[in-house]
Amino acid sequence: MVMTDVVIAGGGPAGLAAAIRSAERGLRTLLLERSASVPDKACGEGLMPAGAHELERLGARIPQGGSASLRGIRYLEEDGTVLEGQFGGRPGMGIRRTVLAEALRERATAAGADLRRGTVLATHPRFDAVEVGTDSGVLDARLLIAADGLHSPLRRAAGLDAGNGSGPMRFGIRRHFALAPWTDFVEVYWAPRIEAYVTPVGPRSINVALLHDRDGARDFDDLLAPFPALRERLAGASVDSDLRGAGPLLQRARARWAERLALVGDAAGYVDAITGQGLSLAFAASSVLMESLPDDLSLDLGPALRRYDERLRARWLQYALPAHALVALSRRPALRRAALRSVSAIPGAFGALVRLVAMA
């Protein structure tokens, strides 16, 4: 059996970023994705400036007209309060998930990664390798990277799943509309127990994502009802994608590694989409992981993977702390309104907060 250096489970942006970084290091890299086509999922599709910078470093080429430049974030409260903050310097990017994945696939293939259809079913680590059972046979690899999503089966199988805590669970649902964007800001509309995120993703395409804690709610129009101004904007626009949802969003991992296993992307744990930093963190994780690994992957990888976890922790906290704080405010409308009014009273304060989070 031929030994592969790295096997990656999952062909979303996190797995593809890991494949690019791995192949660039000269490692024999095999990525397995269960979908026959480019996988799509519920996603806000906004890359903050840090994520856009990481995408540039990955070398992916986005086709002309395949994205939209984002200048900042605008919060719109039920009481009429509007807060607006610009990123400053590098802009963010709105991009359809499928367009992003296709560009990353092309880059991964050009870098030398082998992309195949397949699913990882089981793993059996040894001292110098890991046996990877797939739906088409068994592979030997030095390292398995789990990029298999929010509810990662590999995270659970490795005993790394820490559950999603107690209290109300949050869910996300998104739909695209064929409509010219009316702004180059990400707009966030707030209402009790739900927010609407509007992200331009192309010259005539916008993504409307709804984050809420209304378990069992599935009807997009019903969920959109608390936002009359947004509903008026969307009136008459044709739907441009299938409806997709995800959740519960909060997923905890005990650690981001086990023996000959590394977790990246949503598989490594997730708080909420409320800050738009998920893709930025996923891209950064692939870089941190590859920088942490030794040249000889037949060595004990425990110290290197522990180092990966420790180095990623600081980036994780920069994402997780604001996300937890904003989710808490989303559940306390009176406190949220008071907090945002206080911020609006300080010139430049909201812009400074936006730049702090966006560049993390």
Overall average pLDDT of the 292-299 stretch: 95
Overall average pLDDT of the 192-211 stretch: 93
Its pTM surpasses 0.85: yes
Phi, psi (rounded to 5 degrees) for 208: -115, 110
Q: How far apart are CA 68 and CA 53, in angstroms?
A: 15
Residue among 53, 48, 3, 2 nearest 319 (CA):
48
Q: What is the pLDDT of residues 308-325, one digit of tens each?
A: 999 998 888 888 888 888
- The DSSP call for residue 346 is S
Q: Tell me, what's the pLDDT at 356?
A: 67
Overall average pLDDT of the 129-158 stretch: 95
Q: Evaluate whether the domain defined by 3-166+249-358 bears CATH number 3.30.70.270.
A: no
> Residue 292 is encoded by which pair of tokens?
């942490």
Report residue 217's pLDDT band, with 50, 70 and 90 as the boundaries: low
Q: Is the alpha carbon torsion for 239, 245, 249, 254 positive or negative?
A: negative
Residue 25 parent element (H or E): none
Secondary structure of residue 189 in the 3-state scheme: strand
Overall average pLDDT of the 60-86 stretch: 88
Report residue 359's pLDDT band, with 50, 70 and 90 as the boundaries: low
Share of the chain above pLDDT 70, in %: 96
Q: What's the mean per-residue pLDDT of the chain?
A: 89
Q: Tell me, what's the pLDDT at 266?
A: 92
Q: Tell me, what's the pLDDT at 81?
A: 80
- When comparing pLDDT for 73 and 273, which is higher? 73
Share of the chain above pLDDT 90, in %: 61
